[in-house]
Amino acid sequence: MLVFGLAVFAPAPPPVRVAFFYKPPADGTPVQFLADHFKLIILTHGDESYLAELRRAGYGGPVLQYIAANEAEGPGPYADATAPCDAHYPTYQRTVVDREGVFCREVHPHESWFLHDGHGRRLQSRYQSANGVWRSTYLMNPASAGWRAFLIRRLRDYRHLDFDGFFLDNVDLTRAGMSGVAEYADDAQLQAAQVTYLADLRRAFPHLPIWANLTHDPNAAGAWSRYLPFLDGVMIEDFSQGWRTGRLSPQQHEMQLSNARAAIAQGKGVLAVEQGGPGDVARLALGLADLQRLGVAPPRNSLANPRQPSGLYFRYGDAFHQDYRTVDWYAAYDSR
């Protein structure tokens, strides 16, 4: 666990409500530390034993279940449904296709569930995991009623777990992450499909907290507005300064803050994630200053339901350093 100091602002800012995600820490941080200091935690299916430890340690805040919103992990890569399918491929648990054989039996035969490039091949990413296994993750089509029904069935299956709601990763605002996607001629068509997808989820879970990481954000006025009616909260993963590989322009920066204020004004929660390396207190200070500009919104209905995530949360960390699995704590935080 890393602890860094930061100069005190004048006047002293309100306490920062700090979040942690997406897997249990890999740096030896005690469970009790997270239970005592963090106000929102996001974990993945398979982390239920760690969730139980948090509850035993006295953590009474919300814990959301991470779900890759429109992705399916499976064997391959397979260009289409004609490829023979390896039913013994062992999947991870970040997508709803998280049981051996399910991809081949229930997903692979349905070509309309997938997104494709201009040559009719499935859009997918291929990477080697930390344990040396080569993995394929396919991009799924939110416009497909079959895919949406399958995903909702799996989400209903998860409700026997002790998570308080769902966190959807990678709900895209634009096609920027879908190289040459054939199904959507423009961003408006993608957004319409995402709205249909989110509306189906909201109908299926009318009272359950549903948050989303809104990705490939154009940082344009009202960019979130079509999605917000179906969500209880959003993540801004490149808050304040943007990704470390490329900062936001001044115009993008101001529009991002404007969209966040609009969400807060509608009673939505916001998780602001400032990207930065350990010890970069100058960048942390910029993120905290922008957090103050949002008002450090207090939680709503916290007394009625402390496990309902609401208000404004913050995390400072580097997405490309151990996949967020380290706990960095700074003197500027005060979430006691």
**Whole-structure pTM value:** 0.92
Domain locations in the chain as residue ranges = 2-68+151-330, 71-140
Task: Return the closest-CA partner of residue 74 out of 139, 23, 130.
Answer: 139
74-88 pLDDT, tens digit per residue, is 999 999 999 999 999
For 2-68+151-330, which CATH superfamily applies?
Aldolase class I (3.20.20.70)
Confidence bin at 221 (pLDDT 50/70/90): very high
The rounded distance, in Å, linking the Cα atoms of 164 and 7 is 36
Residue 122 CA, chain-centre distance (Å), reads 23
User: Is the confidence at residue 95, as pLDDT, over 50?
Assistant: yes
What mean pLDDT is predicted for residues 270-299?
Answer: 87
User: Is the confidence at residue 12, as pLDDT, over 90?
Assistant: no
CB 22 within 8 A of CB 318: no
The rounded distance, in Å, linking the Cα atoms of 312 and 307 is 14
How far CA 181 is from CA of 43, 139, 185, 195, 313, in Å, comes to 30, 10, 8, 18, 34
